[in-house]
Structure 1
Amino acid sequence: MADIKLNAVAKHFAGTAALHAISATIQDGEFVALLGPSGCGKSTLLRLLAGFEAPTAGALSIGAQEMANAATGRAVPPEARNIGFVFQSYALWPHMTVRRNVSFALEVRGLSKSEQSRQTEAALQATGLVAFADRMPADLSGGQRQRVALARCLVSDPQAVLLDEPLANLDVALRASMQQVFLDFHHRTGATMVYVTHDQAEAMAMANRIAVMHEGRIVQFDTPEALYSRPCNRFVAGFVGEGTVLPISDFTPGGSLGNGNGSGTARLFGRQITVQTDGGRPNQLCLRPEDITITETGDLRATVIRSTYLGGRYRLALQTPEGAELMAESRARHREGSQLGLSIATPWAFYED
């Protein structure tokens, strides 16, 4: 296993920048998700790690070995990087059985028949595919094909595993079960894993840390908890989780909250509220549904414009007299057009130009 280091890595296509001087370190054994909308550069970054593309600028290393360096022209080919790659399309050989799909990489390496058999059976066992070993890919479900692709990674004992939206073609129920398969694989092998997705729920359910990407840059690289509760800017606040970004004014610093964050007061809709922040003078806040309590004594009023039943609770879209739209949750049903009182409890505030 190995850590991954990116040093000012950039990639241009026909003069257009797809990645802008990305520097980051992925620790040995981490499960990292690259999260962002289509076109943000996450798949391009994954292809650079795999060796399918070469950087236009910068360098990257995996473990102790430098894999690519634009300045020197160094580019270690994909087959020499000892990296597993799981594609969205599975990329299985249709004319080979499951067992042969898994063992083929070992055949190419020239391992003995007995060693090929031992490692292949271990990989099939680890991914729950022993009973399907003699089937052809066409006879498998989407989830089973994805397990074959994962077993093919496992059998080669890679120092890192790269996954490019591997669950995008699966239905919702199967995606949830396959998330656990990937987590089990990670816990069992300790492999460094880099997982590309545009699905925030998927990223937050599996990754130790998430790199949120936007327009070819990593805008925040943090734990799922920190991204949700302490976004660094408007894009992260809007892309990760649900909520509303609103301007605040007249910020006055307060004391420590005892969790590494500071507090202060600011004005929102002409009312003074308490906010938490990491310092500086914030001018925006991220208001999550859990920051809002529906109460008759609340001095903020809002109108219900939409109520969506989510099973045991309702998601409410609210509108304030100032025209701002807020998201709240309630155990009780509230009719559209209802007037509600709200109180706001210590949302996260940040500064943005």
Structure 2
Amino acid sequence: METLAFYCSSVSWGGLEMNFIRYAQWMRERGFNVVLYCVKDAYIDEKNKEYQIPVRYVAHNKKYFDYSNASKVSKQFKKDKVKAVWIRDRRDMNIMGLVKSKLNKGFKIIYQQAMQIDVKKKDIFHTRRFSKIDLWISPLEFLAEQVKENTNFPAHKIHQIPLATDKVAGTKLNKEEARRQLEIPQDKFILGILGRLDPLKGQHFLIKALAELEKEHKDVELLIVGDLTHNEGEDYYQLLQDEVQNLGLNNKIHFRPFMKDTEAFYKAIDVFVMASEGETFGMVTIEAMSYGLPIIGTRSAGTPEILGQGIYGKLYEVNNIKDFSTQFNGLYKNYEAAIEMGSKAQEKALKTFTKTSVCAALEDLLSPHIKK
């Protein structure tokens, strides 16, 4: 049986790595013979204890010219009868190009784009590097257009297939139960933000924005769910706490730690906020859409496209409290229309961003190149 390798040398744990291991499992569920190649004891390896995908351990390879590891990996690929390799981390492009030169011509490299290419990369080095890729998967149109505009990569090899969520609105909790579980007030209008505590994620902005909203809307409060990046970010967390204290918002802002099951978060809030300064593809945004929530998101990176340029959620300029307040007031003062917008977002999410539809599109793309 031909093997579909999922290769990632990253030892970090973020959206890139989370989606990488999820897609490895999903392709396995679709019937592909999947083998995971990762660094021993990395976060991906730890997560794989849940999935139990067959695994081969590799070194945390150099970004460029790692001929030694390329030789080792190519030998293992031959043993495993690897027909195609799936990568998400750009640092793995070079070593896979070296591996490809050692394998037969039928070997394919599949790159699922995780980062923007917003500067020119048409030099000889990048052109040669990208030329080794056979299938380039861009999750959004604006990302695909960046590739076309800023690289020499052939347009016919670019395929636009969105990321997907397997989290859909459950029926375990209603709003009252969710708020009781999270220990937040039952009678308040709750804004919610979910994600790693990081300056680029916008928690600090939302705290300042709430101070402005609170002048007119005394019933509005904020739920912040997320943890610090492992072994870093303590200064930012303290900054958030100090700001809450200085603005006198102690009773209106609720911090809760990361939760594996996020249903209570989505069920508890009235409006979801994507406040990141430049989120390439916000997984929490499509999750909020699948729950039918009214959404306010930044007018930057992939968020406007996900929200249909304002059809499925309100958009505001990054770090602009006045604009944010205007968009919030539009939802708050006509919440029935906000709920209707959330329903449209849910319809869009269930049609476009589901695991079933996205995996079917990926299988159609892969099938001509690798047999199950």
TM-score > 0.5 by shorter chain = no
Greater share of helix residues, 1 or 2? 2
TM-score (ref. length: structure 2): 0.27
TM-score (ref. length: structure 1): 0.28
Greater share of strand residues, 1 or 2? 1
